Chains A and B, each alone.
Chain A
Amino acid sequence: MASYDSDEEVDYATDPAWAHITPLPQDDGENPLAQIAYHPDYVLAMSYLRGVMAINYHSAQVLKLTADIIGMNAAHYTVWGYRFKTLVALEASNGFEDEKTNWSWRKELDWVQSIAKQYEKNYQIWHHRQLIIDHLNDPTGERERTNEMFASDSKNYHVWTYRQWLVKRFNLFDKEELDTMELLLKEDVRNNSAWNHRYFITLGRLGTDSPADGVIDREIKFAKVAISSAPQNPSPWNYLKAVLRKGNIDLASLKAFCEQFAPIDSEDEIKSSHALDILSEIYDETGDFSKAEQALVLLAAKYDPVRKNYWRYRKRLLGSSENVPTASEKTPIVHATV
């Protein structure tokens, strides 16, 4: 019999190793809608899987069967779930050490990585990986695996979700993590997923706790440098606002910085619609309603016209208590030093 990681095909119907499993047919009901004309290999493998699940059978053979099915349909969450249970059962019964099995968690992780590269939009693969790493309680090499994925798609939502879990689970809020984000943002300063992760590791994880000394200033500086490199990039502007909020710093402290990119009286020098947006908020807060409106009018007419209705709504809110920060939000007023 072939070892379970080989690509050798198994004919479940004739292989004696599978004779003890009774295949169970699929019940699609009478005259079903949207029935799929499966390949016969899929039909066969799935009926053996149902047979295996019916008797709660977890042997090394199940690894071959589930790998076969995943090779045909990687989105099969039931198969992934059953495979994980089988791996855990095998480990508990020392089944990995069996020569015929020739399997290990490490091999499983390598196999999963090869599947992940084929099916980038898949929910199950990264969850499977998460279950394994959680079980092994060892994140060694995992950041590198996700970095490999970012090389082909640096915004893959499932990979980023996994990365966050990894960082949280193993407390990896460290310099390596920050350096990786810096690198990704150096490659593409518009990678919003990397900005999101940066926020998570620097400020987001804190909940209601206060950030350590210097973190707020460092992040403000980082965002400002990024803005200067491409002032129409929304990510660092949003980031900057979020950092100020976290640090309880008045938005008005950005006035001079924003005016560099959006001098509203010299229209031809306006380089950022996001600066205009923030300026309208600042002018509103400081009671300069006509300037606030002027910024909104510029946005609606010229710099972001598809959002005209939104800018009109913002004008409607000018001077309303909604927009004016409460006293508690306003104090302490600490002006950014960078």
Chain B
Amino acid sequence: MVQVEPLEEGEQPQLATRTEGNTNEAFHPNLYQMAPERVPALHLNLPFILDDLKTETSQKQLSTARSIMKSVDQPFLPPLDKATHVEFLLSPLDEGLSGGFVGLDASRPWLLYWCINALSLLGKDVGIYNDRAVSSLKPLQHPSGGFGGGNGQAPHVAAAYASILTLAITSYYASIGLPEDERLAVYADSFAWIDRGKLLQWLRKIKLPNGGFKVNEGGEEDVRAGYCALVVLALLGYDDEDLRGDLSRGELPLLDGVAEYFKSCQTWEGGIGAKPNAEAHGGYAFCVLAALCLLGDPEEALSKTLDLNRLISWLSARQYAPEGGFSGRTNKLVDGCYSTWVGGCWSLVEAAANAIESGKKSTKMNVGDLWSRKALIRYILTCCQGPRGGLRDKPGIRPDYYHSNYVLLGLSAAQHYYYYDDVSVQSPVLTKSPFRHGYRWKSSKNVPKPTGHDGTGGGWLEGLVSEESDRVGVQHPLFNIPLGAEGQLQSWWEWFNDVGDVDALSSEN
């Protein structure tokens, strides 16, 4: 018989605190003053129930779980080896890429975004890349509007998304600490050349009558396209009127049917697929939840358009033991990139769950974490760090730039509390934006424990970060860029839409 514990937040083994020292030798126990931490039992055993029937799926799962079990069983959680990850991520920016990367030639803006955002998560000042990001991305703007995956390539919504995110990050860093005029001049260099009129016209062409979007003209339809389109619109300062469109020219409101389309992608499993009827998948779930949270407050957006309870159940089933990481689909293996795609969903659904519970009790309630932050952190630190830098899917698989960004972003989701703040006052311009809800997210290093049924109790979760040097940067939970970058960009558009005298700005410099 197993000892049955009460279901309250029990005493969990505390992570040992590492002493100052050479963290590269993390495996050497002499470096630690404190006793080794206890590895939680869930990482040390295969699941209690394993069916006898063997199939390809169960055999792959079992052998993966067995090999990962050896990696996660470490009394000293290895540190985040920031220095070698930084080296890995700087190399494509500073030295370029070999011919073997030709398969990413239609994803050039992605390469920039993955590396630059990952570097920002690792604490690097990526502002130094702003000028080169601008000169790299300008040739990708298509004469008829939008961005291609490379110069001369057809416009693609994911290329536009990755381009805008890159510029939002580098201009944010490049303008930190600058006086107002110089800050605006940085943003002018980064954004004033984008033809927003043509971009909007192009987005109208990939919008479908069913409320979905295609990734490009003649391309495939999926919720990734819709999410990318909404992020581009939200970050480029369009207002209600722009999106409403000109009926005399046959234009319909661009956001018509969009939320309904996203909702129709919730499946029989409770998760969310690439389009209606497609299999539930973590990557597409994130796209839909983030997009819906751009269109409304989390409670409204997630509980009124989706079956939230079934969604939470499916999301929760993505976390596996002994691995600790997330899988993307039912009966598939864990993979580091789902640390973002699934891990990033939690702050959104928890915000909705908290709002619902607070509404019921008429007092501020917090349901606490619905997932295990610590198990994910353990998976990331023990399994997803490549020995020569970069982050990866799982042990035995080579690190790459995509996984580096999304593993670190997921680590940020696990280390921080991201919450929706509807109390703070927004700028008068933003209050009229259809995407205003997306600008209300905040972060805290303190992760609250659940409040009791009377709203009391709570307290903070301890031991998520054993050493401050393991902490990664805070990110906006919908845009996946450094938190704060979205607000700076928004204030630039407010200035640009209102004053807009870009020439005067650059002459002052």
Contact = CB atoms under 8 A, between A and B. Distances in A.
Nearest to A322: B309
Interface string A279-318: 0000000000000010011101111111111111101110
Contacts of A273: 48-49
Given A188-B56, A205-B277, A322-B309, A34 B267 contact: no
Contact of A309 (B112, B153, B372): B372
Given A267-B1, A297-B5, A307-B316, A187 B279 contact: no
A151 to B, nearest CB: 11
Interface string B96-117: 1111011111111001100100
Interface in A11-70: 24, 26-39, 42, 46, 50, 53
A311 B41 CA distance: 17
Contacts of B135: 29-32
A275 to B, nearest CB: 10
A337 B156 CA distance: 52
B316 A192 contact: no
A132 interface: no
Given A73-B103, A234-B331, A301 B371 contact: no
Interface residues of B, number: 98
Contacts of A300: 5, 7
A252 interface: no
Given A33-B112, A205-B277, A300-B5, A26 B370 contact: no
B151 A26 contact: yes
Contacts of B319: 306-307
A232 B281 contact: no
A125 to B, nearest CB: 11
Contacts of B324: 306
Contacts, number: 266
A139 interface: no
A77 B219 contact: yes
B53 A189 contact: yes
B250 interface: no
A312 B269 CA distance: 21
Nearest to A303: B48
A35 B96 contact: yes
Contacts of A323: 309
A193 interface: yes
Contacts of A330: none
Main secondary structure of the interface of B (DSSP, over half): loop
Q: How large is the interface on A (under 10, 10 to 19, 20 to 34, 35 or more residues)?
A: 35 or more
Interface of A: 24, 26-39, 42, 46, 50, 53, 72-78, 81, 84-85, 123, 127, 130-131, 154-155, 157, 160-161, 164, 168, 187-193, 196, 199-200, 203-205, 229-235, 238-239, 242, 245-246, 267-268, 270-273, 293, 296-298, 300-313, 315-317, 320, 322-323
Given A33-B112, A42-B102, A309-B371, 6 more contacts: A28-B139, A78-B152, A242-B269, A309-B368, A313-B370, A322-B309
Interface of B: 1-9, 41-42, 47-53, 55-58, 92-93, 96-99, 101-108, 111-112, 115, 129, 132-133, 135-139, 148-154, 156, 215-220, 267-270, 273-275, 277-281, 309, 312-313, 316-317, 319-321, 324, 329-332, 353, 356, 360, 367-372, 375, 450, 453
21 contacts: A28-B136, A73-B102, A76-B105, A76-B106, A77-B219, A81-B216, A164-B278, A196-B277, A196-B280, A230-B53, A231-B49, A232-B49, A272-B49, A297-B6, A303-B49, A306-B321, A307-B372, A309-B368, A312-B368, A313-B312, A313-B368
